[in-house]
Amino acid sequence: MKHPSSRAFFAYWDRQRGAAPTPQRSEIEPGAVRELLGDIFVLSCDSSAGYPFRVAGTRLCALLGRDLKGESLTGLFAADSRQECEDILGVVAEEALPLVAGATTASGDGSIAHLELLLLPFAARAHTPLSMTGLLAPLGARIAGEFGELRLTAWRTLGRPSRRLRPRVLRKWEVARGLMVYEGLR
């Protein structure tokens, strides 16, 4: 992650989940990330509606020049990036994996801006719609004017290190002269 806000929000989310794969939505306290709230959003995991914003921070709304509540996140992306955006949102929602992505956009005068998108899942709860949180922040200096459509440039999941495997007992067999077979037992 390149943006300090992304690193800070991910670190907080990671602390809140503890040993669980994802934290409960109620475990994320707005007061604990007060300085980041302007860039943070919450999405409804409704793929048919394009993952609409439930909540969007003030800096994020100012960055894109409008109130984003109810608007589709995938609708912010250009047609050539929209399917990939839907795919990565599906990974976060279905696989409960955090993800970071890079995006670019151009202003009316042709200036290019680079942004970082962080997507973090919440734990699924019975009788509650699935949702995720995240952060979208510009990298470098802000460009003036309204932004155009976003385009994905790269993305990667932020999985936990794989779980440790138990030590294995190996049985060694000499099948023929010079040929050894090792059988792994648990």
Question: At 63, is the pLDDT very low, low, confident or very high (cuts 50, 70, 90)?
Answer: confident
For range 122-138, the mean pLDDT: 84
Residue 107 confidence (pLDDT)? 76
Domains defined for the chain, CATH in brackets: 4-160 (3.30.450.20)
Beta bridge partners of residue 119, listed in sequence order:
99, 134
Judged against a pLDDT cut of 60, whether residue 163 lies above it is answered with: no
Judged against a pLDDT cut of 90, whether residue 181 lies above it is answered with: no
* pLDDT tens-place string over residues 84-118: 999 999 999 988 899 999 999 987 778 888 999 99
In this structure, are strands 169-176 and 179-185 parallel, antiparallel, or unpaired? antiparallel
Judged against a pLDDT cut of 70, whether residue 58 lies above it is answered with: yes
- Which tops the pLDDT comparison, 129 or 35? 35
Between the alpha carbon of residue 66 and those of residues 30, 55, 60, 69, 158, the distances in Å are 22, 13, 9, 9, 30
Judged against a pLDDT cut of 90, whether residue 160 lies above it is answered with: no
Residue 43 confidence (pLDDT)? 96
Question: At 33, is the pLDDT very low, low, confident or very high (cuts 50, 70, 90)?
Answer: very high
CB 12 within 8 A of CB 33: yes
> Residue 73 carries which DSSP code?
S
Q: Whole-angstrom Cα distance, residue 132 to residue 24?
A: 10
Judged against a pLDDT cut of 80, whether residue 148 lies above it is answered with: yes
Give the gyration radius of the chain's Cα atoms.
21
Nearest to 132 by CA among 142, 141, 124, 144: 124
For range 6-16, the mean pLDDT: 95
